[in-house]
Structure 1
Amino acid sequence: MADKKLKITLVKSTIGAVPKNRATVESMGLRKIGKSIILPDNAATRGQIRQVRHLIKVEEVEV
């Protein structure tokens, strides 16, 4: 059975964001608007998503 992954896309700028949120987005590997990354679906990733949910778009993908 394949592991679940999450495709995360940065849709809003981090310019006016709280520094903690900006650091979270950058630690996820997102640098530019429109860029996407695929991360594993685990508790740590879900926590990061919850913190910056207003800046990103999340989709589930099967890999």
Structure 2
Amino acid sequence: MKKIKITQVKSAIDRPADQKQTLVALGLKKLNASREVVATPQILGMVRKVEHLLKVEEI
């Protein structure tokens, strides 16, 4: 499977609760935190929901 690297580049302050929970579900708890995840349809849906807060790179 294809992997992607996601990095949180904007704060979750003043965002709706569902967006904050999505960031936590992706494993991002702090600003500039990064994770490498497998690009499943479920993960890509979560990334799409908060893409304005993230930087996404293909590995």
- Aligned residue for 2:7? 9
Number of residue pairs matched?
A: 59
Q: Normalising by structure 2, what TM-score?
A: 0.95
Structure 2: gaps spanning 5 or more residues: none
The runs of at least 4 consecutive aligned structure 1 residues that moved more than 4 Å come to none
Q: TM-score, normalised by structure 1?
A: 0.89
Instruction: Note the residue ranges of structure 1 that are not aligned, 5 or more in a row.
Output: none
Bigger Rg over Cα: 1
Q: Secondary structure at the match of 1:30?
A: coil
Higher-helix-fraction structure:
2
RMSD: 0.7
